[in-house]
Amino acid sequence: MALFSSNAREAAGAALPVPRHIAIIMDGNGRWAKKRLMPRVYGHKKGVEALRDVVRACEERGVDYVTVFAFSSENWRRPADEVSFLMGLFLQALQTEVDKMRRNNIRLKIIGSRERFSPELVALIEQAEADTAGNDGLTLTVAADYGGRWDILQATRRLLAERPECVAGFGEADLQPYLAMAYAPEPDLFIRTGGEQRISNFLIWQLAYTELYFTDASWPDFDGPALSQAIEWYQGRERRFGRISEQLQSSDLPPQG
């Protein structure tokens, strides 16, 4: 369980603003269900409900970007029946939620490889993104068949295909536009539920300077108050981006500031 820190910034009474971008590993669904003597997939179903609540709570708190890990590149290694249940749940969630998102001004983005998805799922993803593209409220990104290593590789491949001269050398600014989340600022706050303290190949490039929050709460139990607790913890941090405390004048300097 993350503890509240009392650092210099808190002592000075200057809390950070609400994070603009929160990235979440929604973990612990299977164990949550098992504890209740239910099949693992029941936990995944409950997980969709938790996501709905947390997105609403993020909107209320004024968060602009929420990015959630729904299925990792490595999750294909799970038993076939769980993988197929998760694909079905994703399909079903797109069918039932997208209309509400369109009305609630939520822009939906899906990142990850689509190569192993069914044509029906790919079509729904494309439709969902198109239907919500004009919304300018919260941006919800769902990472599905996503891996941070996949992202860096696909970005590098696309950069070199489009700008072959870069093979002689390129920098961060050349690669950045090709990363899957080029449209969003880097996450300010990372939350992982379920008790594990690892990144599991999530946004490894983009999390370089993100504040990391781990909680033992299982994802189906994570709710608005739990989110507020994580945000309050974040607001008490001091983000130095390599500098020292005394150099910090504004409350939230960007990495290259």
* Minimum CB distance to ligand IPE smaller for 16 or for 51: 51
Q: Are the CB atoms for 217 and 32 separated by under 8 Å? A: no
**What is the C-alpha to C-alpha distance for residues 30 and 195, in angstroms, rounded to an integer?**
13
- Nearest-approach distance from CB 44 to ligand IPE, in angstroms: 6
Q: Is 194 in the site for ligand IPE (CB under 6 A)?
A: yes
Q: Is 69 in the site for ligand IPE (CB under 6 A)?
A: yes
Known active-site residue 75: yes
Distances in whole angstroms, Cα of residue 45 to Cα of each of 63, 129, 186, 191, 200? 25, 22, 29, 20, 22
- Nearest-approach distance from CB 133 to ligand IPE, in angstroms: 25
**What is the C-alpha to C-alpha distance for residues 149 and 203, in angstroms, rounded to an integer?**
8
Which of 27, 145, 186, 188: binder of Mg ion (CB under 5 A)?
27
Q: 27, 145, 151, 188: which one is catalytic?
A: 27
Instruction: Give the DSSP letter string of 22-57.
Output: EEEE---HHHHHHHTT--HHHHHHHHHHHHHHHHHH
Which helix (H) or strand (E) element contains residue 172? helix 172-175
Known active-site residue 7: no
Q: Is 29 in the site for ligand IPE (CB under 6 A)?
A: yes
- Nearest-approach distance from CB 198 to ligand IPE, in angstroms: 6
Q: Binds 71, which of ligand IPE, Mg ion, none (CB < 5 to 8 A, cut-off by type)?
A: ligand IPE
